[in-house]
Amino acid sequence: MIIEQVTDFAPCHALRRAVFIEEQGIAEPDEWDDLDVDAIHLLAHEEDTPLGTARLIRVGETGKIGRICVVREARGTGLGAALVRESCARLREIGCTRAYLSAQCYAIGFYERLGFAAYGAEYDDAGIAHKDMEMAL
């Protein structure tokens, strides 16, 4: 399995459509925004098969990790953790000192095991309970 930065993010969009829109029922207008153009897109794949993706956005010294998803067939393999670790490494490389993400509440334990700490109140994002999490890089 390879995780790499891509400039053609059509495979990333296809993964996000499959996981967030089709599987989780998120409305299209809630998934798509104008931030993709300037973001760093990571794609995890095995040969020509896309398996997971993450989107990185830098705001000053903070890097936001978002749109993290893994196809159902690759869940439980460690791919999600590898995507988060690679995201943090990429953010460090571009000078970020803090990573931030908006976690679906069911995944808080997953992110805590990777070093993130939850903060603030729980909130609704696209009909799904979320909580902000952060980690020093």
Q: And the tokens for 81?
A: 């953790």
Q: Determine, yes or no, domain membership for 8.
A: yes
Provide the pLDDT for residue 62: 97
Full domain range(s) for residue 32: 2-102
Provide the pLDDT for residue 117: 98
**8-state DSSP, 51:** E
Q: Determine, yes or no, domain membership for 74.
A: yes
Which pTM value belongs to this model? 0.95
Coil, strand, or helix at residue 63? Answer: strand
Note the Cα 68 to chain centre separation in Å.
2
What span, in angstroms and rounded, lies between the C-alpha atoms of 70 and 90? 19
Coil, strand, or helix at residue 82? Answer: helix
Q: Domain containing 92 — which CATH number?
A: 3.40.630.30
Question: Residues 15-57: pLDDT tens digits?
Answer: 999 999 999 999 999 999 999 999 999 999 999 999 999 999 9
Torsional class of 97: left (φ above 0), alpha (ψ -120 to 50), beta (otherwise): alpha
φ, ψ dihedrals at 45, nearest 5°: -150, 160
Q: Determine, yes or no, domain membership for 107.
A: no
Question: Residues 99-120: pLDDT tens digits?
Answer: 999 999 999 999 999 999 999 9
The number of domains in the chain is: 1
Q: Determine, yes or no, domain membership for 56.
A: yes
Q: Determine, yes or no, domain membership for 47.
A: yes
Provide the pLDDT for residue 97: 98
Run of H or E including 117: strand 117-125
Q: Determine, yes or no, domain membership for 6.
A: yes
Query: Which residues, 6 or more positions from 113, have their beta carbon under 8 angstroms from its beta carbon?
Result: 81
Provide the pLDDT for residue 56: 98
Q: Determine, yes or no, domain membership for 29.
A: yes
Q: Determine, yes or no, domain membership for 120.
A: no
